[in-house]
Structure 1
Amino acid sequence: MFTQNFTAVGDNLLLSALVALIPILYFFWALAIKRMKGYVAGLTTLLVAIIVAVLAFKMPVGMAVMSASQGAVYGIIPIGWIIVTSVFLYKITVKTGQFDIIRSSVLSITEDRRLQVLLVAFSFGAFLEGAAGFGAPVAISAALLVGLGFNPLYAAGMCLIANTAPVAFGAIGIPIIAMEGPTGIAAMEISKMVGRQLPFLSAFIPLFIVIIMAGFKRALEVLPAILVSGFSFAITQYVTSNFIGPELPDILSALVSLFALAIFLKFWKPKTIFRFAAEQEMAATSATAKKVQETTQTYTGGQVFKAWSPFLVLTAIISVWGIPTIKLALAGHYEGTNAVLKAVNSIGHALTFMPEVPGLNNKIMNATGVPIAAVYKIEVLAAAGTAILIACIITKYITSISWNNWFVTFGETLNELKYPIITIASVVGFAYVTNASGMSTTLGMSLAKTGKLFPFFSPLLGWLGVFITGSDTSANLLFGNLQKITAESVGMHPVLALAANSSGGVTGKMISPQSIAVACAAVGLAGKESELLRFTLKYSFMLVLIICVMTFLQSTVLTWMIP
């Protein structure tokens, strides 16, 4: 047995926290300064985390290694499986020529890169986040932008930053719903408070990403479109989160934003079309401009619908996969009487494997003396990647690609993603070691010692949690109860603290090792994770600071905003 000790180093919380920071600081150094390849940084960070867990936090070597294996399995299924199938779907549309039509259809709405990033990265990405989460939104929307002609680094960076707005309500509201269990506070109350924080960020994000991409002056040129995109999303997010619940804010906000902007662009066009520097020379000639115009008018409505069909099918299947009752059946946990769902449940049960992690299951005692269960959670049918694979099979018939080419494309995808999968498996393994050894909680407890300033630092707990785990859901489960207890002890409203954990967490998603690896894999930048981290790091700090200030004001001056 191993009992987590949060003051393992010198019986001192602060000193223990400083030691617990070593793997995180090493990871930043490895990627941002040393610029190691992602899989090298991931594997060595995992090794550093195991060494710190064993030497400083007295975790048995076997338990540390098995904890890493548990994380690695989760890194492959469901996360790695989503990346493989998402990129595979994109490659099918490219190989069959359907993506040329998709590109043309987007250009027919707007040729302006600033507006394309709002449609694809912000609105469409948010819809996928609401339906699936777990990396699929960034992978698919970033691949779409690259196909439209975006620089891969910019495409990945823009999608990671745009993904900030919807993360808290991702995957049918799971991050918010998950917090109800360990904290005892109703998910609806947490949803209301998050819905009184994130909409401010959601309204700002479209302007923010356009400024990053094109500069402040160029952003002002499309300000009307930015306002339509951001405010339609933010208002819908507030209304749904406060009056409906945590399940639908992303899906409804994304749809309203997408259609509002598309309709608005039918009546309003920017005075100048913004393209990237490399494209300016091409667009300067009348022949090129005429060619673009002809391309956008070549295809019929039926052809455009067929080209988008793989992603429409994907959206429909992922949405079905996200319905709570169906999700239970797919995982083999349905206990109702519906005959169809019972049949699905039987298949889901047969394809769900939950073997115990040898030498780790119920061998770690947490601070309250309760043993922690440890299983390899392999839900084959329930995984979002399986939903995407089904979309790939249907797409085979839509695009008429032969089975031989279908399998060849799948093999090419696996070969391209072998190093990104290693990266993802290692960084999720690092997260599991950090959690199992108690290092994550040590860091959280040290931040909780900030007393009256805790409302300002509260979002940093969520930011740190998402950086470590790559998931707002995991960060909420990790620090939710600590947030509640600390808030009550310093006179902060506990619902505000829980919301701050989730809202702060969304700003850490763009620098999470897991998210960085996913984004790079999707756009063909495997091995260049350091460049993407350097791109997103400063923006992550800026956005979490906004949440910190907002939470502090809501706790002291704007208390009327708390439900």
Structure 2
Amino acid sequence: MYRQILDPIADSLLLSALCAVVPLIVLFVLLGAFRVKAYWSALAAVASAVLLAIVGWQMPAVQAFSGVAEGAFYGLFPILWILINALFVYRLTEITGWFAVLRRTFNSVSDDQRIQAILIAFCFGALIEALAGFGTPVAISVVMLIAAGLKPIKAATVALVANTAPVAFGSLAVPITTLAGVTGLPVDELGAMAGRQTPVLAVFVPLILVLLVDGKRGVRQTWPAAIVAGLAFGISQFVWAQWVSVETTDIAAGAVTLVALLGFLRIWRPRTLVTAATKEAESGKGSDAGEADEENPELDADAGEADRHRARTGEGSAWLAFAPYLIIIVLFAIAQFGPVKQWLAVNGTHAFAWPGLDVYPATGDKPVGLTTFKLDHIKAAGTILLLSGLLTMACYKIRPGRALRAYGGNLVKLRWTMVTVMLVLALSYTMNLSGMTATLGEALAATGPAFAFLSPILGWIGVALTGSDTSSNSLFGNTQVAAAQKLGLDPVLLAAANSSGGVLGKMISIQNLSVAAAAIGQPGSESQIFRKVIGWSLGLIVVFAFFVYLQSTPVLGWMTKAL
């Protein structure tokens, strides 16, 4: 048996916390400052974490390496299982030319790239996050933004920044329900409190998106649409979380925002349009948009004349172009329907003790949760996405052999992304099982009244490390409550702040960066994307932390009261 130690370095919590953060420093410095490829950066971080776990935290070597193996497997299933099948669905639209029809359809709504960024990444991405999560909205939004004409790196940046406000209530509010299960606090109170925090972020995210796409000109010319989208999402999220349903908050917010923005665009248009063609002209490169391309690289060797015609002209049914994504939404909705959800909960998952692990927390007589592996085989989001792919095959009349070659080609393209994600999750599991993450949490909780400011930052660290708001809440939920009770603060406020602050760590998590890099077809570009988003992540979390601190004081304390 291994019992975690909170202060193994010279019996000092501070020194232990400084050592515990070393693997994270190794990871992000190599990735951001030295531009080392993501998988090498992750490998170096894993090596440093294992060394610290064995030498510093006195974890048995066998258990340390078993934790590495468990994390790597979790990276493969369910995380990569989701990504692989989400991109498989996209690839089916690509090889048949329907992706070009999708591009034309977006242009028919508005061919202004700034508006499309809000519609796709913010509105549609929120709906996907509401149902699937785990990187799926980033993977899908990125390819749709590229279809709208954005450059790959910019598309990845926009999708990552947009995937913030809906995360706390993503996957039918699994982060909030998990937080309630860990802390014992009422789920409705936690959801309501998060609903008084994340809407503040939502109001500003669309403005940031148009700034990313077109700089100050974008904000100056499209701020009315950005404000409509931000307010519609924020107000809907607030109202739904307070008085209707925590689980369906993002579904309502995403749908209301989409309808509100589409309605607003019927009576308002930007003074000037910024399209792919104008962007090319401004850069002095010219544009070949709309020209025929007989050797379209999106097509495969089996493409027929109809496929080539669609790829060249973008002609075809808009409903068929959207069909794969409508199928995804319908299947996820069915999976959450009462009887189906209950059946999947019983038959769609299998839990077992991970071999070689016998780990207990510093205090308590129950093993840490990660010693039990929960394998969601049938109910996994990736399985539902695979079924969506099979239905897309039937819808587009794609032969099995052709689809299988597309699937295999995806695996080849994703090989380094798969290595990266597995290593990052191995790092996360090593730090969590050894007790390094718990040491960080305890050190921050020992800062006294300043902890109200650090509370969302703790959630941000958890998501940056694990790539999951749910995992961050599992790690730090109890730490937040214990610190709040010790300091005389509202435990619901700080627990919710863990989840709300965590959403801002999503854009810099290596897992999500790897998903974005794979989606744009540029594995290895994680460091480039990271440098584009790190400033936004750091700036927003500092402002948000100050906001939560004010909520713990009389200045904004009125916002925490039950309505």
Aligned to 2:10: 10
Residue 305 (structure 1) aligned with residue 343 (structure 2): no
Aligned to 2:378: 381
Residue 409 (structure 1) aligned with residue 406 (structure 2): yes
1:283: how far off? 11
How many residue pairs get matched? 540
Instruction: Quote the Cα distance in structure 1 between the aligned partners of 2:518 and 2:115.
Output: 25
* 1:368 pairs with one of 359, 364, 367: 364
Aligned to 2:344: 330
1:132–1:319 Cα contact (<8 Å) kept: no
Instruction: State percent identity of aligned pairs.
Output: 39
Instruction: Quote the Cα distance in structure 1 between the aligned partners of 2:381 and 2:48.
Output: 31
1:70–1:375 Cα contact (<8 Å) kept: no
Instruction: Quote the Cα distance in structure 1 between the aligned partners of 2:120 and 2:552.
Output: 36
1:500–1:547 Cα contact (<8 Å) kept: no
Instruction: Quote the Cα distance in structure 2 between the aligned partners of 1:88 and 1:520.
Output: 15
| 1:245-268 deviation per Cα after TM superposition (whole angstroms, max 9, x unaligned) | 320111111111112112221221
Residue 493 (structure 1) aligned with residue 484 (structure 2): no
| 1:386-428 deviation per Cα after TM superposition (whole angstroms, max 9, x unaligned) | 1111111111111122222111111101111111011111101
Aligned to 1:23: 23
1:212: how far off? 2.4
Aligned to 1:273: 273
Aligned to 2:298: none
2:210–2:222 Cα contact (<8 Å) kept: no
Residue 545 (structure 1) aligned with residue 542 (structure 2): yes
1:152: how far off? 1.3
Q: Specify whether residues 84 and 287 from structure 1 end up closer, same or farther in structure 2 by C-alpha distance, changes over 3 A only.
A: closer
SS at match of 1:526: coil
Instruction: Quote the Cα distance in structure 1 between the aligned partners of 2:167 and 2:150.
Output: 23
SS at match of 2:532: helix
Instruction: Quote the Cα distance in structure 2 between the aligned partners of 1:287 and 1:523.
Output: 20
- Aligned pairs (5 A) from 1:195-274: 195-274=195-274
- Aligned pairs (5 A) from 1:98-247: 98-247=98-247
Instruction: Quote the Cα distance in structure 2 between the aligned partners of 1:520 and 1:329.
Output: 36
SS at match of 1:376: strand
SS at match of 1:371: coil
- Structure 1, 5-14 or 144-153: larger mean CA deviation: 144-153
Aligned to 2:429: 432
Instruction: Quote the Cα distance in structure 2 between the aligned partners of 1:366 and 1:192.
Output: 32
RMSD after superposition: 2.2
Aligned to 2:454: 457
Aligned to 1:341: none
| 1:346-375 deviation per Cα after TM superposition (whole angstroms, max 9, x unaligned) | xx3xxx443432210x44344223223513
1:283–1:289 Cα contact (<8 Å) kept: no
1:324: how far off? 6.5
Structure 1: gaps spanning 5 or more residues: 334-344
Instruction: Quote the Cα distance in structure 2 between the aligned partners of 1:525 and 1:504.
Output: 29
Instruction: Quote the Cα distance in structure 1 between the aligned partners of 2:36 and 2:285.
Output: 39
Q: Specify whether residues 120 and 50 from structure 1 end up closer, same or farther in structure 2 by C-alpha distance, changes over 3 A only.
A: same
Instruction: Quote the Cα distance in structure 2 between the aligned partners of 1:555 and 1:283.
Output: 52
1:299: how far off? 7.3
Aligned to 1:53: 53
Instruction: Quote the Cα distance in structure 1 between the aligned partners of 2:53 and 2:98.
Output: 50
For 1:413, give the aligned amino acid. Answer: N
2:100–2:314 Cα contact (<8 Å) kept: no
Q: Specify whether residues 101 and 17 from structure 1 end up closer, same or farther in structure 2 by C-alpha distance, changes over 3 A only.
A: same
SS at match of 2:269: coil
| 1:182-218 deviation per Cα after TM superposition (whole angstroms, max 9, x unaligned) | 2121010011111111111101100012112212232
1:450: how far off? 1.5
Instruction: Quote the Cα distance in structure 1 between the aligned partners of 2:556 and 2:421.
Output: 41
Instruction: Quote the Cα distance in structure 2 between the aligned partners of 1:104 and 1:145.
Output: 12
| 1:317-364 deviation per Cα after TM superposition (whole angstroms, max 9, x unaligned) | 122224465344224x2xxxxxxxxxxx3xx3xxx443432210x443
| 1:85-104 deviation per Cα after TM superposition (whole angstroms, max 9, x unaligned) | 11111111011011111100
Aligned to 1:558: 556
1:286: how far off? 11
1:71: how far off? 1.0
1:38–1:526 Cα contact (<8 Å) kept: no
Instruction: Quote the Cα distance in structure 2 between the aligned partners of 1:278 and 1:272.
Output: 12
For 1:17, give the aligned amino acid. Answer: A
Aligned to 1:481: 478
Aligned to 1:339: none
Instruction: Quote the Cα distance in structure 2 between the aligned partners of 1:446 and 1:65.
Output: 26
1:472–1:505 Cα contact (<8 Å) kept: yes
SS at match of 1:154: helix
Aligned to 1:315: 329
SS at match of 1:222: helix
1:74–1:377 Cα contact (<8 Å) kept: no
1:171–1:322 Cα contact (<8 Å) kept: no
Instruction: Quote the Cα distance in structure 1 between the aligned partners of 2:237 and 2:220.
Output: 24
TM-score of the two chains, using structure 2 as the length reference:
0.92
Instruction: Quote the Cα distance in structure 2 between the aligned partners of 1:435 and 1:426.
Output: 14
| 1:510-551 deviation per Cα after TM superposition (whole angstroms, max 9, x unaligned) | 111111111111111211111111111111011111211111
2:170–2:250 Cα contact (<8 Å) kept: yes
Q: Specify whether residues 21 and 403 from structure 1 end up closer, same or farther in structure 2 by C-alpha distance, changes over 3 A only.
A: same
Aligned to 1:536: 533
Structure 2: gaps spanning 5 or more residues: 293-309
Q: Specify whether residues 432 and 552 from structure 1 end up closer, same or farther in structure 2 by C-alpha distance, changes over 3 A only.
A: same
1:278: how far off? 4.8
Aligned to 1:441: 438
